[in-house]
Structure 1
Amino acid sequence: MTESLKTPRAGEGQREMGEAERFHSLLVPVDLTAISDRVIGRVARLPLADGARVTLLHVVPGNLPVRAQDRAERDARKSLVNEARHLAKALPRGVHVEPVVKVGSSVAEIADCATSTRAELIVMGRGGSRALRDTFLGSTAERVIRRGQLPVLAVRLAPRAAYSRPAVALDLEQGSTEVLALMLRLIPAPRPRVTVIHAFDTPYRGAVYPSLTEEDAEEWRNELGQTAAQQIAKLLAASLARAEVPPAEAPPWKTHVRCGSARLVIEKAVKKADSDLLVLGTHGYSGVAHVLLGTVAGDVLREVACDVLVVPARPAAEEPG
């Protein structure tokens, strides 16, 4: 199952990140199928702090017959130890890789392990296109994302290098600064161009105001789009300042503001940019954030052909002032 991890050690060829910027604890649930190679390959390319902890977790179904369960646990431990040894060779010296096998419900065990290891990020697989289209809405990854405790990097692509064509879908809620902050940690300097996607809609249609002409509607859409673009620019500047990213290390932004369905706007922008990573948040109860984890979540996550980083909202009491 394991592929060769032909990758430079994390940070090689890049500006040295501060320890606070790097990840100190990752939880990596793996199912020991072929998709696990992609997940582990991506972990090998993430910025990790000296002494960081990477926990490889496999959960054996708790409803197996007892004798079968014992054999499954033995097999899983053997495979996971090999995976941990293989991954450790591709990571910076000092990073500790720990294999953990649990029995029970995948989502519950992932949540418990994330808490006990103080994980900052969960990295797990999304599956191939056919499996994704058929089962993603009921998959472990989707249920972990909906639980909303930690950011989840859902890996679909076979990793070749660090992310080089990222996109971020933003609403205009305060939580968007958290989305951008995590994206900046995930992609160290020198940062590539980032496609910034924002979808907006007009609250009323011609059926409500039949006397409005198409020219009136177009003027309204243009005004809303310009206002949104200005607000996005301010949000980007504020996020860079909050993350203490100097101007020389800020990524070039390519802003994509469109009127229409959030799902369609995001899908088209990601496809046009050939993005290898889509970053989005779950903040608030309106706008893109709510829509993405609402009724169109499955559509977006099924259709985009790239990895997806989902950043949950902080509780209100934890929102930065």
Structure 2
Amino acid sequence: MEEPEWALQVSIEKEQNMKNILLATDLSTETNRALGRAVHLASTLAAKLHVVHICPVYAFSSKKKTTISLKQDAEETLKNALAAVKGLKKSQTSLTVIEGGETFAEIIDQAKKVKAGLIVMGIHGKVKLIDMFVGTTIERVIRKGMTPVLMVRDKPSAGYGKVLVGTDFSDGSTQAFHIALDLAPKAEFHLVHSYMYMGGHMARYMEDVLADLARDKLEKFVEKSKGILKKHKISPQDFHPGTVKGEPYACLLNAAAKIKPDLIAIGTHSQVSIMPYKLGGTAKEILSDPPCDVLIAKGL
């Protein structure tokens, strides 16, 4: 079965964009992990790595020299970090240090300028309360931007080996799945679709009907995905689709506990102009306390 024309166009645009990766760093230990992952991905995808750092600017003019010094120090630190990466050529990287501005807005703007197909950022420890995550730079980059974001939690030692994909068959979760195939070409993939039923009259019958519908949707999605799976040389032994009853966030966490993935790929809504204040529930919960690296996309 051939993929529809729109699916082919999405694939083409994604591949073109993935030739540029943007690493947003604040020079912390967490973003050092992100640098390692970003370098590995740039090598895997034969992409150019663009590094951006946003320097604070003080309100008082008397602090101007201090601001210049901070920018120069940041540039020197990043140059040394990139120079220390074995096999990384200067022609494969670009470095930008920006003074002032809203950090999240500058990152989104820089991603547009370099036509990045992916933004890579480090996670600052475990944010166990959702309200603590909301309003952080990375949350705002995801919520207000359209470029897929990879949140790096763990120090990379190799390529991704196990990927857990949560899907509701939306544009966002489909794009997350496709990008994950690019980022983890040798990984084992677990595709999970959850469904819910709240009970009520004829509960047992309706539960069976919903379970059948969920399996049917997943089977159709897998059938449509055969082309891209073949392209990425993902064997049937390394691809495990399945449905599970329950709330999406709980289902993903339970699956993660069993599978122990090093990457989770999920989607969120793309209606930035309609709901700029809201990040989807499942995405927000996973991102607030991720068990591993997380890739999140909104679809084209």
Task: Output the TM-score relative to the length of structure 2.
Answer: 0.81
Equivalent of residue 116 in structure 2, options 115, 119, 130: 119
| Alpha-carbon distance change, 307 to 95 in structure 1, aligned in 2, over 3 angstroms | farther
The residue that corresponds to 1:12 in the other structure is none
Deviations 1:166-216 (A, max 9, x none): 10010033554323221111111xx332121212112x532xxxxx3xxx4
In the TM superposition, what is the alpha-carbon distance from 1:243 to its structure 2 partner? Answer: 6.7
Query: What secondary structure does 2:150 align onto?
Result: strand
The residue that corresponds to 2:155 in the other structure is 158
In the alignment, structure 2 segments of 5+ residues that lack a partner are: 1-14, 272-277
The residue that corresponds to 1:205 in the other structure is 199
Equivalent of residue 62 in structure 1, options 36, 57, 63: 57
In the TM superposition, what is the alpha-carbon distance from 1:80 to its structure 2 partner? Answer: 1.1
Answer yes or no: is 1:268 the counterpart of 2:274: no
Larger relative contact order, structure 1 or 2 (CA cutoff 8 Å, min sep 6): 2
| Alpha-carbon distance change, 50 to 120 in structure 1, aligned in 2, over 3 angstroms | closer
| Alpha-carbon distance change, 277 to 98 in structure 1, aligned in 2, over 3 angstroms | same
In the TM superposition, what is the alpha-carbon distance from 1:233 to its structure 2 partner? Answer: 2.5
The residue that corresponds to 1:100 in the other structure is 96
**2-side partners of 1:271 and 1:51: how far apart?**
33
Query: What secondary structure does 1:275 align onto?
Result: coil
Which one-letter code corresponds to 1:70 in the other structure? I
Equivalent of residue 73 in structure 1, options 68, 71, 74: 71
Q: Mapping of 1:216-255 within 5 angstroms?
A: 216-242=202-228, 245=231, 249=235, 252-255=238-241
Answer yes or no: is 1:35 the counterpart of 2:30: yes
**1-side partners of 2:299 and 2:169: how far apart?**
13
Note the aligned Cα RMSD (angstroms). 2.8
Which one-letter code corresponds to 2:199 in the other structure? R
The residue that corresponds to 2:4 in the other structure is none
Per residue, is there more helix in 1 or in 2? 2
Deviations 1:31-50 (A, max 9, x none): 10111221011113215478
Task: Answer yes or no: is the 8 Å Cα contact 1:163–1:276 preserved in 2.
Answer: yes
Equivalent of residue 143 in structure 1, options 137, 140, 143: 140
Deviations 1:139-173 (A, max 9, x none): 11111000132010010111111111110010033
Moved more, 242-251 or 30-39: 242-251
In the TM superposition, what is the alpha-carbon distance from 1:311 to its structure 2 partner? Answer: 1.0
Which one-letter code corresponds to 2:28 in the other structure? T
Deviations 1:260-306 (A, max 9, x none): 21121112211221111110112478xxxxxx932454322123311
Task: Answer yes or no: is the 8 Å Cα contact 2:167–2:174 preserved in 1.
Answer: no
Task: Answer yes or no: is the 8 Å Cα contact 1:176–1:283 preserved in 2.
Answer: no
Task: Answer yes or no: is the 8 Å Cα contact 1:23–1:48 preserved in 2.
Answer: no
Task: Answer yes or no: is the 8 Å Cα contact 1:51–1:94 preserved in 2.
Answer: no
| Alpha-carbon distance change, 149 to 247 in structure 1, aligned in 2, over 3 angstroms | closer
| Alpha-carbon distance change, 244 to 22 in structure 1, aligned in 2, over 3 angstroms | farther
**1-side partners of 2:246 and 2:170: how far apart?**
18
| Alpha-carbon distance change, 131 to 42 in structure 1, aligned in 2, over 3 angstroms | farther
In the alignment, structure 1 segments of 5+ residues that lack a partner are: 1-19, 207-211, 286-291, 315-321
Which one-letter code corresponds to 2:70 in the other structure? A
Task: Output the TM-score relative to the length of structure 1.
Answer: 0.76
Runs of 4+ in 1 over 6 A off after TM superposition: 131-134
In the TM superposition, what is the alpha-carbon distance from 1:135 to its structure 2 partner? Answer: 3.5
Q: Mapping of 1:81-92 within 5 angstroms?
A: 81-87=79-85, 89-91=86-88
Equivalent of residue 44 in structure 1, options 36, 39, 45: 39
The residue that corresponds to 2:177 in the other structure is 180
**2-side partners of 1:305 and 1:50: how far apart?**
25
Task: Answer yes or no: is the 8 Å Cα contact 1:57–1:100 preserved in 2.
Answer: yes
Query: What secondary structure does 2:266 align onto?
Result: strand
The residue that corresponds to 1:192 in the other structure is 187
Query: What secondary structure does 1:78 align onto?
Result: helix
**1-side partners of 2:231 and 2:67: how far apart?**
49
| Alpha-carbon distance change, 175 to 243 in structure 1, aligned in 2, over 3 angstroms | farther
**1-side partners of 2:92 and 2:129: how far apart?**
31
| Alpha-carbon distance change, 175 to 33 in structure 1, aligned in 2, over 3 angstroms | closer
Deviations 1:201-237 (A, max 9, x none): 12x532xxxxx3xxx4234223312321232122123
| Alpha-carbon distance change, 130 to 172 in structure 1, aligned in 2, over 3 angstroms | closer
